[in-house]
Each structure stands twice: as C-alpha cells, then as structure tokens.
Amino acid sequence: MNLVSNIQSYSINFHENATIIRANQLNIFYSGKLVVENFSLQVPKNKITALIGPSGCGKSTVIRSFNRMNDIIPGFSLQGEIKYQGKNIYSSLEDPVRIRRQIGMVFQKPNPFPKSIYENVAFGARINKYQGNLDELVEYSLIQAALWDEVKDKLKESAYALSGGQQQRLCIARAIAISPDILLMDEPASALDPIATLKIEELMWELKEKYTIVVVTHNMQQASRVSDYTAFMSLDREKIDARVGVLIEFDETTKLFTNPKLKETEDYITGRFG
Amino acid sequence: MQTQNSKLSSFFSFTKDPKIRNFREKIIAISLFGCGVFSILVTIGIIVTLFSEAIAFFLRPEVDIVTFFTGTNWRPLASKISPDNFGVRPLIRGTMLIAVISGAIAIPLGLGSAIFLSEYASDKLRSVLKPLLELLAGIPTVVYGYFALSFITPILKQVLENSFGIKVSFFNAFSAAVVVGIMIIPMVASISEDAMRAVPRSLREGAYALGATRFEVSTKVVVPAALSGIISAFIIGISRAVGETMAVTIAAGATPRMTLNPLDSVQTMTSFIVQVSFGDAPAGSINGQSIFAVGATLFVMTFVMNIVSAVILKRFREVYD
C-alpha cells in the first residue's frame, strides 16, 4: 500500500527543547480503513496549539492519539510514532494509563461523573493514591479552573446541578487536579453558549503558563483568538471519496491567518471552503 | 411457492377493499387489546382466589392471625389443631436462609460476570458468552434440584462430615441454596450488564483520560453510575430465589425448623405448598386453606421486593435524563 501522499503541505520545526510532543508520519486506521495519513507535527511546549479544519478531517482522531485515548475504540490502529519525553508512547513498553496521567484531556461534551463536585475533582487524585491534602488540591484545582467562587459553598452537591459551562470548567479542574504536563482539549467550547465559551478561552490563556495545550476547534475565530500556533488539517483532495485527513499547514497562528503559505489554507480561512 | 402466494393473495383480495380493511384494522386492534386484558384478568383472578382463601383461613376459629405471623411452630398436619401449630416463621426462616445464601453466591458471581461482559469482553466474545450464560436460566429447575441432591450434597458430606466431623443432613438448605444461587446468576448478570451498558461512553472516557485503569473505570465509575440498576437486579434475583420451588423442594427437605444452620434440613414456604398440594388435603379444609395463607404471605413478600426494585429503577432513570 502506498501511503505517501503527494499532497502539498507546509510545516515548521522547533528546537528539540522547545517541543513536547513530536508526531512522526502517523497513519491512523479505524477497522483497517485509513482515516489520517502521513501526519507529522511538533507541538511546542507551554504554548497553545490549535488544530482546525473541516468536519471529518481527523482532528479529533489525531488529538485522541496523543494520549492513547483511541486505544479504547475497537478497531483502532496506528503506524508511525508519537514521541513524548523522548519515548514513543505507542511503543509496547509504554503503559497508556501512565501516559494519560501526564497528558490530560477535556472532551467536547462536558462529562462530569454522577458524583459530587468535590468527588469529581478528587477522582484522579484518589486513583493515583495522592498523599497530600485532598481538600487543598480540590480548592487549588477549582481556583485554577476559575470555578471556585461559584461552587465553594456547594462542593457536596451533584456535578449535574451545574450549568454546561460550569460542568466544562469542572472537567478542566478535574483534568488539572492530576497535574498533567499537557492538556488536550477536543472542541471544549462547542457545546457551550458564547459567554461560557469566552470563559473557557480566558481560562486557556491562564493555563498555558503551566501547561501545554492542544485544542481542536472548528471555530476559526476561536483558534485565532486563543492559540499561538495553528495546524490546519483537511481531507486529501486526491482521494476525496476515501475521506482521508492530512495536515496541510502548520505555522504561527498570526502568520497562518494573515499570510497562509498554501492556497488550500487560504480558501478555508477566508470561507471559500468548508 | 410463488403461485401459492399469488393464489392466497387473490383469495384474500377482499381485504384490499377500503371498508373491510378498516374493519380488519379494528379486529386486529380489538384482539391485541384482548391479549393484554387476558393476562391482567388472569392475574386478578389469581390474586382474588389467593386472598379469599387466605382470609377464609384466618377467619377460622382454630387459627389466630397474630400467632400465625409470630409463632415458631409450623405443624399443620399434627393431629391436634391449635393456633400454636400455625406459626409461619419457620417457613419464612427457611425461605430467607436459602435466599440469603443463594444471594451471597449469585450477587458476587453475577456482578463479576456483568463487569466482565460489559467492560472487558470484546463485542465478539460477549455475543458468544451472554447467550451461553443465559442458557443457565433455561435449565429446568427440577434438574437443578437433582443436581443438588446427587452432586453437591455428597461432596458436602464428604468434605464436612468425613473430614471435619460436621454433621450434614442429606436434605439441607445449603445444597439447595447453592443451586438456587447458580440459577439466578444469569438474571443478576444480565440485568446488571444492561444497566452498566447504559452508562454513557463519555463517562468511561472521562475516567480513562484521568489515568484510570480498566478495573478502576469499572468499579469507580461504571458500577456506581449503574448502581440503582444493579441493586434492582439483586432484588429481582433474590425475589426469584424466594419464590423458587422445585429445587428447594427436592434438595432442602420438608422439615419446618427455626434454624440458622444451613446444613440442617429446612422447609421453605414454596416447598410446604408443594407438599400439601401433592397430599390429599380436601379443598376447604384447614390444610387446604393454609397453603393459600402461606402463598399470600409469599406473594406479599415478593411483591414488596419488586416494588422496591421498581422504585430504585425509577431513581436510576432520573440520573441520566
């Protein structure tokens, strides 16, 4: 099978020390069907990297490969390597559970557990046998997620009593409570109203001091507002029927949005495609 | 086949007439309604018979309703008929003894299989294992009874009596409870598994993303989220154990006894009913009526358990809607 795409693409490289994840020539399959082809990307440390592109181009598939979340989907397989801390996370020696404790994830739809607000935040610490003060950890995480003031008087109440935006910030608090290196966010604001979206975006700005963030979004304004770097993915036009996602252009967000190198990127960001 | 079909359709072509089609729809609706009403009427008939005979029993001068529920002697066939001989508690004790032991067997095994089927097994494996497990439920209960008598009891005697000198009755509650437990595993497993599969995948993903292992996802997220459904599976399983008849009649004996020793022979409410029904107690006699009193008591017990499980299930639904 010839997996080398002839598609024209543009990407930038960083110094070894400035990157935290290096994806090298990924080919991703679901039940034997190729869905993402020849994907290479270097994720810069302590920056916000956005993944944009039309629906079905494999953005979520790629981001879910970064912490091996796809492993739980039957039929998933991956070729190539994703390097994190100098090791290929898909090597058979690596434990996906350990990787997920360092590379956290926030999902499209808020998915708090049907437990109290407190227990939601404490969940990761409890399963990691956290030795410190749990109350302090919960408070710290909720403050980090800009939710503390809204929930400090009802920590024992069900997380389901919160609004959608609050639930999503609770999920962010839950993710940062295990102090990961990287936060992956898969369209974290797409199920939220504009005000809640704005809060999540402000929060991302604050969080990038401590964490590297990779965010999938189909909202280009959001990508241009929050991210430092943007990767544009699209479907391989040479085999459009096969619906195979490829990386088209990766650059600093300002450059990608004001002066894209490739016509396909320009078409997308100016609204002529997608 | 083709010609037959066309002949048939031409024969029934009158049904294509709009008026008759309408009439036919009505007939169908009425007969379907009849099917539903039939089972309700039968249930009502059973309840009326059960309780009218039970009430007739309690109105007899020889029995006393308070003694019936508090007395510890059950000797309905004794020559001396007195209220003291009609205390139902030994039968309830025997029933509960078997229900508790079988629950202690079926609940962990059933829950374990449910967790395996829902969280560990691949779709392919589940599609083979689940029908196999449900096959257990298709074995006639009389077979379970003889299995207890001819397989479990001898092992029990060999191990406990010969090695440890603990006396084991040939008919004993434990053997019966073991097979009843095995019998209700599929029910507990199947209903628990349904409840666990109803837990949205997003919750599992949330836990996996926090570095939870498969076991932690199962026990700390899926089982708690499905807990109401699982508890209701337990209650349905236990109420099945309470109502189980054939296996306990064969294996547990026919000695009404206030005992907590599972190696003794006991009698359950259902096996008492079988015993008297197979005898020649005339209708309307005190013995004939006593089985209705016991039956009504059993009915109320399982009915309450089913209501409790329905209430719990209802709460379960609210969590996700």
Say yes or no for a CB contact (<8 Å) between A113 and B210: no
From chain A, the residues in CB contact with B202 under 8 A are 107, 109, 111
Instruction: Write out pLDDT tens, residues B243-285.
Output: 888 888 888 888 888 888 888 888 888 988 888 888 777 777 8
SS3 A25: strand
Say yes or no for a CB contact (<8 Å) between A115 and B213: no
Q: Which domains does chain A have, with CATH numbers?
A: 16-269 (3.40.50.300)
The answer to whether A107 touches A164, Cβ cutoff 8 Å, is no
pLDDT of residue A274: 47
pLDDT of residue B14: 60
- The amino acid that residue A197 corresponds to is T
Cα-trace Rg, chain A:
19
Calculate how close chain B gets to A127, using CA atoms only, in Å. Answer: 7
- The amino acid that residue A131 corresponds to is Q
Among left, alpha and beta (phi > 0; psi -120 to 50; other), residue A53 is: left
From chain B, the residues in CB contact with A113 under 8 A are 203, 206-207, 221, 224-225
pLDDT of residue A3: 44
Among A99, A105, A106, A113, the strongest candidate for a mutation testing the B interface, having the largest count of B CBs within 10 A, is A113
Query: Could you say which residues of chain B have pLDDT below 70?
Result: 1-20, 316-321
Is B119 part of the contact surface with chain A (CB cutoff 8 Å)? Answer: no
From chain A, the residues in CB contact with B122 under 8 A are 74
Q: How far is CA B288 from the centre of its chain?
A: 25
Query: DSSP characters for A30-58?
Result: ETTEEEEEEEEEEEETTSEEEEE-STTSS
Return the number of CB contacts < 8 Å for A and B.
Answer: 67
Cα→Cα distances B24→A149, B13, B128, Å: 66, 13, 42
Query: Which pair of tokens denotes residue A53?
Result: 């592109």
Q: How far apart are CA B50 and CA B15, in angstroms?
A: 46
From the list B232, B230, B239, the residue with the least C-alpha distance to B301 is B239
Alpha helices in chain B (DSSP H): 2-11, 18-59, 65-70, 89-115, 123-135, 141-147, 153-156, 173-197, 201-209, 214-216, 223-225, 227-243, 246-251, 269-278, 286-320
Cα→Cα distances A199→A108, A146, A159, A190, Å: 15, 8, 18, 13
Geometric angle at alpha carbon B201, from A110 and A198, rounded to 5°: 15
Calculate how close chain A gets to B242, using CA atoms only, in Å. Answer: 33
Compute φ and ψ for A31, nearest 5 degrees.
Answer: 50, 45
Say yes or no for a CB contact (<8 Å) between B200 and A113: no
pLDDT of residue B19: 67
A76-84 sheet: strands from edge to edge: A87-88, A76-84, A19-30, A33-44, A245-252, A229-235, A48-52, A212-216, A182-186, A103-106
Residue listed under structure tokens 């440890």:
B164
- The amino acid that residue A11 corresponds to is S
pLDDT of residue B321: 40
Q: How far is CA B313 from the centre of its chain?
A: 17
Alpha helices in B136-200 (DSSP H): 141-147, 153-156, 173-197
Q: What chain B residue is nearest to A171 in terms of C-alpha separation?
A: B206
Say yes or no for a CB contact (<8 Å) between B210 and A74: no
Give me the residue from B122, B123, B205 closest to A111, CB to CB: B205
Q: Which residues of A touch B (CB under 8 A)?
A: 67, 69, 72, 74, 97-98, 100-101, 104-105, 107, 109, 111-115, 123-124, 126-128, 160, 171, 174-175, 178
Q: What chain A residue is nearest to B226 in terms of C-alpha separation?
A: A114
Q: What chain B residue is nearest to A176 in terms of C-alpha separation?
A: B210
Reading chain A (274 residues) residue by residue, the pLDDT tens digits are 344 456 678 888 888 788 899 999 999 999 989 999 999 999 999 999 999 998 888 999 999 999 999 988 888 999 999 999 888 999 888 899 999 999 999 999 999 999 999 999 999 999 988 888 999 999 999 998 889 999 999 999 999 999 989 999 999 999 999 989 999 999 998 888 888 888 889 989 888 888 999 999 988 889 999 999 999 999 887 777 788 999 999 999 999 999 998 888 888 888 876 4
From the list B139, B141, B158, B318, the residue with the least C-alpha distance to B225 is B318
The answer to whether A134 touches A125, Cβ cutoff 8 Å, is yes
